[in-house]
Amino acid sequence: MADSSILNNSTNRLQYYAITIVFFVITIVLASFGNIYTTIFHYFSDFLFFALFLWLGYVLTDNICLLTQQGHKVKALLWTFLYLFMAFVIFSDGHGSVEHSTNLYEKLLLIPVTLLLFFKSIFLPFIFLVVALIHNAIMYLVCQPCQDDLHNLG
């Protein structure tokens, strides 16, 4: 098994982070029906959650690489699913029959309600499970220590 010294390289870390952020931005663009800038810069609670998810994406990226190196691919997949699905839930309020939350308190109250509504449908969680699988497959192919493991097998 490869060591995690390559993960300490800041160039590699930013490349892995960029993959996660691309998936995150695509998710919130879909959740906000393309009004990402209006949503983030008009509502302060959305801006706070955007900043929080950027930081969580950075932490998640490191954990996905480390979990994949250690052979815990299912755990890495579940963390990615949770990250992307919660991003979709948080940024999708106000784009259905419910008005957009105006402050952080309303946003925090709407998150569990929106989560329950989205879990009623089997298709939306399944779609995000497939998206998380694609994300982790790309991370596995790009992650340098994982590539070293693949070359050592051959």
pLDDT single digits (tens) 46-83? 899 999 999 999 999 888 888 887 888 899 999 999 99
Q: Is the pLDDT of residue 7 over 90?
A: no
Q: Which of 20, 23, 56, 13 is nearest to 144 (CA)?
A: 13
Q: Which residue has better confidence, 34 or 23?
A: 23
The predicted structure's pLDDT at residue 150: 47
Q: Which of 61, 89, 81 is nearest to 126 (CA)?
A: 81
Instruction: For residues 32-42, give the mean pLDDT.
Output: 81
Domain ranges of the chain: 6-153
The residue written with tokens 């960029």 in the block is 18
The amino acid that residue 141 corresponds to is L
Token digits of residue 37: 């800038």
